[in-house]
Amino acid sequence: MKVAFAGTPEFAAIALEAILAAGFEVPLVLTQPDRPAGRGMQLQPSPVKQVAVAAGIPVHQPEKLRTAEQQAPLAEAGVDVLVVAAYGIILPQAVLDLPRLGCLNIHGSLLPRWRGAAPIHRAIQAGDTETGITIMQMDAGLDTGPMLLKRAEPINADDTTGGLHDRLAWLGAEMIVEALEALPGGLAATPQPADGVTYAAKIGKAEAIVDWTRPAVELERMVRAFNPFPGAIATHGETPVKLWRARAIDASGTPGEVLLAEGAGVIVACGEGSLCITELQKPGAKRLSAADFLRGMPIAVGSRFA
């Protein structure tokens, strides 16, 4: 069976590596164009492109897939199925119709919950106790296609998006190989239920600004959900500070007020309860434990975070 692959970040690269390791023929990989990255803002290939190039697979990097010219390499590849994972480009119906067995998507949630761009972030932010991977047959809707495989993964109390992402990436890689080995006709397609639909909107940088009037339990989830991107941001004096590790505790004060600042953590009052911050970062510096951070940037009790 000939399998084309469309994806961009590390989540997708792990799946591509698994498909290759399972022995499937992959004549074409689609990924987004190289983007500027790093301090020098040099063009960098996506993780998926790096895997494809190392394996000697032709790579197609259109900005969109709207025109016949943009779609031509996939049409000419004559593949049986297209696997899609975090590609970041909408597939029009003409592309969905090209592979003989259609297009399979690796989605990082238990559909129909958290359709959309940021399912891992949103599951942690909402306080969900589990998420998972759904392998679905793609249609023209936003993650609305029938489900072929579905497997749950618990969300631990200290999970960050980074850690949960890695577990789901490996789970998705295992499941897509299982799905491909069962094709054609070996998997029952189950329509998604109408109940329980939620949408995982793309994370905006404006969301990363901490609102201290919110309950501490919500802010704790926010810090975990936005680790490693985009990072929860608060301002102390004139200095923006990223918060990387924190836990909600039972203490009270005026929202934003520093109640304690010592090696064990910086405690800041919230709308309900307080947040004990244990890992912080100021601009141009590394992430530091509270103890190391306070040596370089003392924070006075009674001062305020905005």
Q: Are residues 185 and 272 in the same domain?
A: no
d(CA 266, CA 260): 6
**Confidence check: pLDDT of 262 > 80:** yes
pLDDT of residue 186: 87
Q: How many domains does the structure of the chain reveal?
A: 2
Confidence of residue 118 (pLDDT cuts 50, 70, 90): very high
Q: Are residues 178 and 209 in the same domain?
A: no
pLDDT of residue 247: 98
pLDDT of residue 112: 98
Give the mean pLDDT of 52-78.
97
- Domain assignment present for residue 132? The answer is yes
**Confidence check: pLDDT of 37 > 90:** no
Domain range for 36? 3-200
pLDDT of residue 146: 98
Give the mean pLDDT of 217-238.
97
Confidence of residue 243 (pLDDT cuts 50, 70, 90): very high
CATH number at residue 152: 3.40.50.170
d(CA 284, CA 276): 23
Residue 231 class from Cβ within 10 Å (0-12 exposed, 13-18 middle, 19+ buried)? middle
pLDDT of residue 184: 84
**Confidence check: pLDDT of 76 > 80:** yes
Among the three residues 200, 232, 253, which one is the final residue of a domain in this structure? 200
**Confidence check: pLDDT of 41 > 90:** no
Mean pLDDT of the chain: 97
pLDDT of residue 25: 98
d(CA 192, CA 303): 51
CATH number at residue 246: 3.10.25.10
Confidence of residue 38 (pLDDT cuts 50, 70, 90): confident
Which amino acid is residue 255, in one-letter code? P
- Domain assignment present for residue 301? The answer is no
Q: Are residues 103 and 234 in the same domain?
A: no
Among the three residues 200, 217, 245, which one is the final residue of a domain in this structure? 200
pLDDT digits 0-9 by tens, 163-221:
999 999 999 999 999 999 999 888 999 999 999 999 999 998 899 999 999 999 999 99
- From residue 94, how far is each of 68, 71, 79, 215 by CA, in Å? 9, 9, 14, 47
Q: How far is CA 174 from the centre of its chain?
A: 18
Q: Are residues 196 and 288 in the same domain?
A: no
